[in-house]
Chain A
């Protein structure tokens, strides 16, 4: 694993959790002021006052809707999706003792994708009753179900006689991901023009559909598992020594595996369900934090969550303003920024080894 390099020690103090939290809050406030619709600061302030403290500012309905029901939920959603993906990534990397691990590897994303595409394709026909009952939420619910099902499938494939092999899990994840890709491809092939558009946009990710109901569903599904993951910090630290060594020190490794995989699947499943596929956040953010703060999971998990949220707020702000009045899919943006950064990170650590 990449160790904290002495060079970055000062940065480590700079990016401590309180500072990151402060930056996150400031970023979210900035993001609230930035958008395709240029609004003066006072107006945004008035809307917030109106909504939070019941002020009577007499603003046009469109204005308060814009700030309170479009911008704000979207920003909060980006905080939780970014933070959720990053903390799940950090925990999974710790569990697999592999810095290249990513929740994608245990099949979460691919399972979500297969089910989401099926939701887009069949929501009108096969899913009939359920589809019409769920309405817009069909794809979201399908994606979430798919991600959990595949994760359990992968976990089950890797378990025998009460023992779960981490290596087998990784391989099973790769196989299931390939299978998922094939099924998605098959359905894509039979889709018509409109469905194809929907599928493509979904796989590129977007936070565009954010609303308060969505947040109300997502927040507990991210916060609760994230808290449980964080409580596993010391077990994850010990696991870094090796699975057997950790067991000798009294860690119930089987239980830790189960908790980490379950929580990561819940978080990533929920995030993917509301936003589609957003690449590289789960992989790159934990690396960055590990580089600055070292591999101790207590600070790593917390730092990843905060930094993930912080970066996602800015990525989404860019997504909705850079090519306005159109919208850039956020998955493209995170991959465009994340991949070169990851390569830079590889080169940097290669030299220092």
Chain B
């Protein structure tokens, strides 16, 4: 018993001390801080992407768990977990001079603590529109004093938007698209009005198959029959969690919808499709193209 306890405590202490050694330069360096921002922490996947687009990637010292793009650059960075379960002390140990977070997370107690600790937080306003990435880029650009980078991002983005317009011109009809958010067979939600999914579907030239409610709701077989979707849209990861297209079609009611019968199923990467990142216009054009490339024509409406 004695030995057990001593052993256990010893292991714990060893683990802790090893861990403590790995982290962070000494605190005294913090004292000499310059006005310009050199150490950024991003707590949102789309913001991280924006920072890379604005060529500020090398200033990022930490990101949250939703930051997955660009994957290669991000592997080296400390991952701070989810924005709703932040380790404030660890975040401080990265000695950020600016933390970028979405306005929707403003209520987080951890982020409030961060502000009280004297770390500047830039709250980025979000919306489900094509303007969001640019608006956020402008907020960031203003803060960090980026002009050329902002201009070049704007150019690329406008070009993307033009391509989206082009893509939509060849669109025939307005397909009814149903976005299914899947976390395995037991948990299927469909997107109603006022969701990122609904906005993206409309940007791509489709219409949301559901207009009777706002936000996400659990999917039901009868609701599916009523919505009569012509296309099913999912995250790649969601489709995978169901066991691919075959698994998806085994869900009661799905195979009976027009989309199910014709096999109109589209899977796209989550952050790309619904993150409203700087790739949003490209993603919408991409979705539009994939809607048009589906094998059978939709019933025109």
Q: A69-89 interface mask toward B, CB cutoff 8 Å, 1 = contact, 0 = none?
A: 111000000000000000000
Taking the complex as formed, is B86 at the interface, i.e. its CB lies under 8 A from any CB of chain A? yes
Q: Which of A1-37 contact B (CB under 8 A)?
A: 7-8, 11, 34-37
Which residues of the other chain, B, contact A192 by a CB distance below 8 angstroms?
Answer: 189, 215-216
Residues of B within 8 A of A326 (CB): 65, 79-81, 85, 87, 90
Q: Let me know if A189 and B30 touch, CB within 8 A.
A: no
- Mark out the residues of chain B between 156 and 176 whose CB falls within 8 Å of any chain A CB in the assembled complex: none
Residue B295 lies at the interface, judged by CB distance under 8 Å to chain A: no
CB of A62 within 8 A of CB of B1, answer: no
User: Chain A residue with minimal CB distance to B116?
Assistant: A65
In the bound complex, do residue B92 and residue A37 qualify as a contact, i.e. CB atoms below 8 Å apart? Answer: yes
- Report the minimum CB–CB distance from B274 to chain A (whole Å): 11
Which of B15, B78, B187 is A325 in contact with, Cβ under 8 Å?
Answer: B78
* B293 interface contact, C-beta 8 A: no
User: Of B20, B87, B91, B113, which one neighbours A38 at CB under 8 angstroms?
Assistant: B20
B87-102: which residues lie under 8 A (CB-CB) from chain A?
A: 87-94
Instruction: List B contacts of A66 (CB < 8 A).
Output: 89, 92, 117
Within 8 A of B (CB), among A21-68: 34-40, 43, 60-63, 65-66
Whether B218 lies near A60 (C-beta < 8 A) is: no
Q: Please tell me which one of the listed residues A69, A193, A194, A209 contacts residue B110 in the complex, with CB atoms under 8 A apart.
A: A209
Which B217-246 residues sit within 8 Å CB-CB of chain A? 217-218
Closest to A320 in B: B87
Please judge, given known A-B contacts A63-B27, A322-B19, A327-B85, whether A189 and B187 are in contact too, CB under 8 Å. Answer: yes
Instruction: Decide yes or no whether B290 CB sits under 8 A from chain A.
Output: no
**Is B85 a contact of A329 with CB atoms below 8 Å?**
yes
Q: Write the nearest CB–CB distance from A69 to chain B, whole angstroms.
A: 7
Tell whether A324 is near chain B: CB-to-CB under 8 Å. yes
- Interface residue range, chain A: 35 or more
Max count, chain B CB within 10 A of own CB: residue among A34, A60, A197, A321? A321
Contact of B272 with A by CB under 8 A: no
How far in angstroms is the closest Cβ of chain A from B210? 15
Complex CA gap A34/B81 in Å reads 20
CA separation between A70 and B85, bound complex, in Å?
A: 15
A38 to B16, CA, bound (A): 11
Instruction: Say how far B184's CB is from chain A's closest CB, in angstroms.
Output: 12
Report the Cα distance A71→B27, complex, angstroms: 15
B179 within 8 A of A: no
Task: Give the residue of A36, A190, A318 whose beta carbon is less than 8 angstroms from that of B90.
Answer: A36
The 3 A-B residue pairs whose C-beta atoms are closest, nearest first, are: A326-B81, A325-B90, A36-B90
A-B contact pairs, 10 of them (CB 8 A): A40-B26, A40-B27, A60-B31, A65-B118, A66-B92, A69-B116, A201-B82, A318-B12, A318-B16, A327-B90
Q: A11-B2, A36-B20 are in contact. List 7 more A-B contacts (CB 8 A).
A: A34-B16, A38-B27, A60-B30, A71-B89, A318-B12, A321-B19, A327-B85
Q: Which residues of B line the A interface, CB within 8 A?
A: 1-2, 9, 12, 15-17, 19-21, 23-24, 26-27, 30-31, 62, 65, 78-82, 84-94, 104, 107, 109-110, 112-113, 116-119, 181, 187, 189, 215-218
